[in-house]
């Protein structure tokens, strides 16, 4: 390397995790972010660590499911109809990837990464003496229909096949685990390997730790372009007219990453998947375990005395405006599964919005670009960014430090796969 300076673009979980491992490896890291670094998709999310979610979003049956859901105004999934070449290409690639073969190949890789990430999170908490409310209690996938219960049974079967602990519970067994809250359910899938934590606390504490360890942060600093000398990036240009000289660059710019990749003539299809969360501080009643509503795709996370409801997946471009239909759907499903909550009560709380960076095949982009000597990518984690951020950062750091061109083990995640 010309020098030891690495520029990381983006201060979300992907950027902070990558910076953490690069800093530990002894490199000089500068993180650039176009915003103030106090809120991005990595802050107000559900905070679930989900090895149980080893099936990629693009899997058999998803297309039919997605179309059915889109036809309902109050469903959790929505694609805003618009003529957008990138959205059309994304949809085409999503359809192409929704095969049994892709799911079969991806599931063991995702499972391994998700479990490794959970262990890294435990290690981070212990080694750095952080406290971000990590709870290793497992996840309950609540079902309120026979169809949902049957589908969940199949996921449990696949999890067991992959060697992961998981089982179905009757409604009575779930009630025993959660005696203080009424649930309108017929049963649940239970995944004891899953965990949850407070994502805002993790982000703030990790950022503070990185600053303490000498990582430089430049906020309100938008990267506009990357300066090339044939196959080598020599630095990045920012909107304020500055130039950051570097020996390596890691793009961790979330839903905006494909725009930066385009500056390098790399196609990295991405759509922003908008989601919302509502956090109730000091609720009268709260479950003790984190849970998801299987049929409605809503997560419920107890977080240091508060309770967060999070969900919906809306593809409407890079637009963070609130779609009231989707909020109504989220609130309605909470009241259906947990009848002690009321629509009026939940409407009183602030709404948080985040844009998930979604690749069409449901796998993140993690690795080195083959076309360049020193450009690395960690993005496209979609619904699993908090569950995969650390392991992705560690893979990038290992690649940079070893000088290897490719991590063979994780070739499915290759950032060049659409070129
Ligand atoms: C409602 C909801 C619930 C979720 N729940 C979970 C969950 O329970 N578990 C889980 O694992 N995941 C969950 N996720 C997904 C997870 O939040 C995301 O995958 C993750 O936060 C993405 O992190 P990131 O670092 O890639 O992107 P971001 O957090 O969006 O960070 C990207 C950063 O890059 C910056 N940036 C962009 N362009 C530039 C540029 N040109 N120059 C400089 N900076 C730039 C942005 O300002 C931003 O700060 C959820 C998401 C949502 C919306």
Condensed to tens digits (0 to 9), the pLDDT of residues 68-116 reads 676 666 777 788 878 889 999 999 999 999 999 999 999 999 999 999 9
The answer to the question of residue 302 being in a domain is yes
The answer to the question of residue 354 being in a domain is yes
The answer to the question of residue 18 being in a domain is no
CATH number, domain containing residue 295 = 3.30.9.10
Question: Which pLDDT belongs to residue 204?
Answer: 98
Beta bridge partners of 86: none
**CB-defined site of ligand 1, < 6 Å:** 9-15, 32-35, 40-42, 45-48, 222-223, 252-254, 256, 260, 275-277, 299, 310, 354, 356-357, 379, 381-387
Mean pLDDT of the chain: 94
- 72 Cβ contact list (under 8 Å, min separation 6): none
CA–CA separation, 128 vs 21, rounded Å?
13
The answer to the question of residue 351 being in a domain is yes
Condensed to tens digits (0 to 9), the pLDDT of residues 393-405 reads 999 999 999 988 7
The answer to the question of residue 323 being in a domain is yes
Domain enclosing residue 280, as ranges: 54-82+131-194+270-358
Q: Which two tokens stand for residue 351?
A: 């709404």
Condensed to tens digits (0 to 9), the pLDDT of residues 351-360 reads 999 999 999 9
The answer to the question of residue 290 being in a domain is yes
Whether the Cβ atoms of residue 283 and residue 340 lie closer than 8 Å to each other: no
Q: Buried b vs exposed e over 389-415: b needs ≥16 C-beta within 10 Å? A: bbbbbbbbbebbeeeeeebeebebbbb
For the chain, percent of residues with pLDDT exceeding 70: 96
Q: Which two tokens stand for residue 313?
A: 């997946």
pTM of model > 0.95? yes
pLDDT above 80: residue 3? no
The answer to the question of residue 182 being in a domain is yes
The answer to the question of residue 143 being in a domain is yes
117-126, 274-283, 371-380, 404-413: range with lowest mean pLDDT = 404-413
Total domain count, the chain: 1
> How big is the chain by its Cα radius of gyration, in Å?
21
Ligand 1 centroid to Cα of residue 370, in Å, is 25
CA nearest neighbour of 301 among 155, 202, 400: 202
């Amino acid at each position: 390397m010309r020098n030891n300076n690495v520029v990381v673009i983006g201060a979300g979980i992907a950027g902070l995790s990558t910076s953490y491992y690069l800093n530990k490896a002894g490199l000089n890291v500068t993180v650039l972010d176009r915003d103030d670094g106090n809120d991005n998709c990595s802050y107000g999310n559900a905070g679930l660590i989900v090895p149980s979610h080893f099936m990629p979003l693009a899997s058999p049956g998803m297309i039919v499911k997605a179309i059915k859901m889109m036809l309902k105004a109050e469903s959790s999934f929505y694609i805003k109809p618009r003529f957008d070449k990138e959205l059309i290409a994304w949809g085409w690639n999503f359809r192409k990837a929704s095969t049994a073969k892709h799911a079969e190949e991806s599931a063991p890789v995702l499972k391994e990464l998700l479990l490794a990430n959970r262990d890294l999170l435990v290690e981070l908490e212990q080694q750095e003496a952080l406290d971000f409310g990590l709870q290793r209690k497992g996840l309950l996938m609540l079902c309120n229909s026979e169809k949902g219960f049957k589908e969940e049974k199949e996921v449990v079967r696949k999890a067991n096949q992959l060697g992961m602990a998981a089982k179905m519970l009757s409604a009575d067994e779930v009630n025993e685990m959660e005696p203080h809250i009424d649930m309108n359910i017929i049963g649940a899938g239970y995944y004891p390997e899953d965990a949850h934590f407070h994502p805002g606390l993790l982000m703030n504490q990790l950022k503070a730790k990185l600053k303490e360890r000498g990582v430089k942060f430049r906020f309100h600093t938008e990267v506009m372009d990357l300066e090339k000398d044939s196959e080598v990036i020599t630095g990045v240009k920012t909107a304020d007219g500055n130039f950051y000289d570097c020996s390596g660059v890691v793009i961790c710019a979330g839903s905006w990453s494909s725009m930066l990749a385009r500056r390098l003539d790399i196609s990295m299809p991405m759509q922003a998947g908008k989601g919302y969360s509502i956090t109730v501080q000091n609720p009268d009643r709260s479950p003790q375990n984190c849970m998801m509503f299987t049929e409605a795709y809503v997560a419920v996370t107890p977080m240091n005395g508060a309770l967060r409801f999070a969900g919906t997946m809306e593809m409407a471009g890079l637009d963070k405006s609130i779609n009231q239909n989707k909020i109504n759907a989220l609130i309605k499903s909470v009241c259906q599964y947990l009848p002690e909550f009321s629509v009026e009560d939940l409407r009183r709380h602030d709404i948080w919005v985040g844009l998930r960076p979604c690749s069409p095949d449901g796998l993140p982009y993690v690795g080195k670009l083959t076309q360049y000597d020193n450009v690395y990518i960690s993005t496209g984690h979609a619904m699993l960014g908090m569950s995969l951020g650390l392991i992705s950062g560690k893979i990038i750091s290992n690649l940079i430090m070893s000088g290897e061109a490719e991590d063979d083990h994780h070739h499915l995640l290759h950032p060049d796969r659409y070129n």
